[in-house]
């Protein structure tokens, strides 16, 4: 049964101190483990003449390491108790956007660890409006959203970000769609360091509950996703279809903004660290430093959507080559849903050649996601998303984060999310 903890977005500095204190203790303990591992590895290597060397970590030295861990945990428990008593006073301070951004970034990098250790800094998934989590129950939801309409658009942020960061460069696509097209915007907040498949399943369950409690009949449902958020949304669609949930039947539009459907090469490049550093027995213990990338980040390597996609790599007996292999199960886009993809390139001069651009030779990407990946292209037909050209848009001179606040991007969103007869 999962351990309940306060949502750091709903509390404030008191929980921050407790979370940071726990994380610090985890770090100290981790360094102790690392030093002991190096010590034991060197001690276990044969001597100059091939004779085994006495392992000091089994004797007095081992007791020292165990003592360090014990003292660290004891101090950590005392700090946690003290911060718990101080938290109610500190929590009276209002939350700041900078704090939310810092916690979101921390969750992106270490969110799986924070979640597994029930750290107060771990973000609990919430559907939000105006930066505040929505209540459950039709009556409470109606009071929280007095202007709720029949057209619902859910915006899903990317890695290391949060729901408030959809306001970018003086743009907020949700607010603009509400003003211009009558959509009611809802924003997902989630721990982007968790596995995408876990977030997808939780997102699906929350959408099911949202539509069940919605104050008025839902006529249309659309999801707008940035970066990793698109993978979470696709995973949610798959989970809903498998579980027979009703919200998927209401979904008519999926819009992907720079989503790495076929993976992000920067994450794949990071995996080389894991391989190279384990070649020497002297450096092998340091391999754990290369694994600081969260489960969510590692899922970006190929664009994992299902539990089976990442569980195959959890087996430590697999070779390094196997660990780098793309073992995903193909997951097509949901049937009956209009899917759109926006990709951008940092190249400001490629636009003049875009008319002759070939599918297998796309321009450079946005600094994080290749254009081909963002448009769903893949050499294997089983993985190719087959998004029609009429539902693609390629922008130039833009970076990955520019997708969050650009007038041209919004113009495409608005055009695509018009009534079905007007959208193509």
Q: What is the mean pLDDT of each run of 10 residues along the chain (424 residues)?
A: 50 54 51 45 44 45 47 48 48 58 80 85 94 95 96 95 92 97 98 96 98 97 97 98 96 97 72 48 48 81 93 59 75 96 86 47 77 95 96 94 95 94 57
H or E segment and range at residue 226: strand 220-226
Q: Hey, which bits of 227-349 come out as E strands? A: 251-257, 338-345
Domain boundaries in the chain?
13-116, 130-263+330-416
> Which DSSP string corresponds to 184-222?
EEEEEE--TTS-HHHHHHHHHHHHHHHHHH-SS---EEE
Q: For position 266, what pLDDT does the model report? A: 66
289-306 burial string, b = 16+ CB within 10 Å, else e? ebeebbbbbbbbbbbbbb
Give the integer Cα–Cα distance in Å for 44 and 55. Answer: 6
Angle (deg, nearest 10), helices 196-213 and 228-243: 70
pLDDT at position 314, please? 65
What's the chain's Rg over C-alpha atoms? 24
**CATH classification code of 130-263+330-416:** 3.40.50.1820
Given a contact cutoff of 8 angstroms between Cβ atoms, the answer to whether 243 and 353 are in contact is: no
Q: Are strands 126-129 and 184-189 parallel, antiparallel or unpaired?
A: antiparallel
Q: Which pLDDT belongs to residue 313?
A: 65
Q: How many CB atoms sit inside 10 A of residue 367's CB? A: 15
For 51: left if phi > 0, alpha if psi spans -120 to 50, otherwise beta; the answer is beta
pLDDT of 409: 97
What was the pLDDT predicted at 28? 45
């Amino acid at each position: 049964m999962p351990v309940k903890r306060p949502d750091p977005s709903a509390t404030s500095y008191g929980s921050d101190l407790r979370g940071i204190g726990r994380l610090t203790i985890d770090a100290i303990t981790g360094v102790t483990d690392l030093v002991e591992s190096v010590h034991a590895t060197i001690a276990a290597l044969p001597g100059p003449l091939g004779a085994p060397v006495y392992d000091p970590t089994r004797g007095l030295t081992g007791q020292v390491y165990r003592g360090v861990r014990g003292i660290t945990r004891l101090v950590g428990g005392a700090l946690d108790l003290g911060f718990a008593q101080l938290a109610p006073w500190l929590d009276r301070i209002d939350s700041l956007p900078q704090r939310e951004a810092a916690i979101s970034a921390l969750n992106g990098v270490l969110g799986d660890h924070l979640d597994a250790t029930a750290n107060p800094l771990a973000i609990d998934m919430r559907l939000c409006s105006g930066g505040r989590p929505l209540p459950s129950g039709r009556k409470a939801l109606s009071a929280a959203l007095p202007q709720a309409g029949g057209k619902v658009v859910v915006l899903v942020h990317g890695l290391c970000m949060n729901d408030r960061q959809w306001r970018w460069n003086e743009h907020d696509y949700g607010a603009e769609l509400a003003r211009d097209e009558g959509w009611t915007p809802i924003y997902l907040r989630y721990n982007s360091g968790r596995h995408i498949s876990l977030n997808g399943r939780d997102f699906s369950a929350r959408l099911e509950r949202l539509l069940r409690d919605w104050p008025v009949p839902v006529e249309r449902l659309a999801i707008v996703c940035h970066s990793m958020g698109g993978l979470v949304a696709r995973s949610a669609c798959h989970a809903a279809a498998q579980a027979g949930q009703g919200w998927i039947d209401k979904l008519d539009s999926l819009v992907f903004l720079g989503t790495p459907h076929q993976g992000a090469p920067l994450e794949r490049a990071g995996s080389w660290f894991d391989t190279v550093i384990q070649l020497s027995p002297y450096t092998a213990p340091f391999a754990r430093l290369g694994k600081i990338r969260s489960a969510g980040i590692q899922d970006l390597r190929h664009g994992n959507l299902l539990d089976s996609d990442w569980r195959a790599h959890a087996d430590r007996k697999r070779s390094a080559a196997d660990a780098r292999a793309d073992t995903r199960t193909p997951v097509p886009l949901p049937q009956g849903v209009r899917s759109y993809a926006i990709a951008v390139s940092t190249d400001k001069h490629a636009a003049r050649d875009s008319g002759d651009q070939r599918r297998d030779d796309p321009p450079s990407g946005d600094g994080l996601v290749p254009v081909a990946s963002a448009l769903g292209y893949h050499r294997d037909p089983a993985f190719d998303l087959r998004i029609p050209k009429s539902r693609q848009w390629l922008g130039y001179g833009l970076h990955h984060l520019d997708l969050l606040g650009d007038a041209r991007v919004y113009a495409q969103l608005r055009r695509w999310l018009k009534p079905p007869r007007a959208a193509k």
